[in-house]
Amino acid sequence: MTGNEVTVPVRWQDEEEIAMTYDRLVCANCAGPVNEGRCPVCRANRERLQQQQNPFASISPAALLALVAAMAAVFLIARHALA
């Protein structure tokens, strides 16, 4: 996935997650694509989404949970080895 994708759960399919790019988001105010910035709401949301892009934005909750579990395991192993 690139940095401009959002993982969205799809309930009407097989409970799978698909990647949705920001250019597919539709504004609730003007019903236009957010990336075009047709109204002030679109422009504000487009800027907010661009500012929210960080290295952890594309990590899924399952991957984040696995990372925390791995860090806890490393901590416990290190603690046991040094005790």
Domain ranges of the chain: 1-52, 58-83
Mean pLDDT, the chain, integer = 76
What pLDDT is attached to residue 16? Answer: 54
What pLDDT is attached to residue 76? Answer: 96
Nearest Cα to Cα of residue 9 among 61, 50, 44, 51: 61
Task: Note the pTM of the prediction, 2 decimals.
Answer: 0.39
User: Kindly report the CA angle at 21 between 16 and 23, in degrees rounded to 5?
Assistant: 140
CA pair distance 17, 83, nearest whole angstrom: 43
What pLDDT is attached to residue 45? Answer: 82
What pLDDT is attached to residue 70? Answer: 97
Walk along the chain (83 residues) and give the pLDDT tens digit of each residue: 455 555 555 455 554 555 556 667 888 888 888 888 889 988 888 888 777 666 666 678 888 899 999 999 999 999 999 87
Please, are residues 39 and 31 in contact by the beta-carbon 8 Å criterion?
no
